Amino acid sequence: MKEARDFSIGALIAIIVAVVIAVVSIYGVIIRNSYEFQLKKANETSNYETRKAVEDYARSLIAQYTADKLRYETYKESNSAERQSWAEEARIRANTTATIYNEYILKNSFVFRDNIPEDIKSELSYLK
């Protein structure tokens, strides 16, 4: 009887130790991931090359969106079915570009630190 009680106490202690180790390990991983994310974020916000790459890509998306928007506005009221199809294709491309741009700016907003250049918009609107 005493051996069974000693075994159950030993098993209980082993379970408690295992739970404590698991909790400490999980907490350690969370702290390490948070630290690495903050370090990466700080490095990228201060890195000129990263900021330039983000700005350049944003500007290229704006140029692509503007070109498609102008093409859409040019041909949307045309009498030709072919030109109206060009307008519809341009509208679809412009909306796709707007989606990509808006997500990109959202994901990279920390690079600007509330200091977005004037020529980079915070959001592109969708064409209806």
Break the chain into its structural domains and give their ranges. Answer: 1-46, 48-128
Give, in degrees to the nearest 5, the angle at Cα 39 between 55 and 104. Answer: 30
Confidence class of residue 99 from pLDDT cuts 50, 70 and 90? Answer: very high
- Whole-number Å distance between alpha carbons of 98 and 116: 18
Give the side-chain half-sphere CA count within 13 A for 99. 7
> What digits encode the pLDDT tens for the residues 77-95?
989 999 999 999 999 999 9
Report the pLDDT value the prediction gives residue 70, as an integer from 0 to 100: 96
> What digits encode the pLDDT tens for the residues 11-65?
888 888 888 888 888 888 888 888 888 888 777 666 778 888 899 999 999 999 9
Does 7 have pLDDT greater than 80?
no
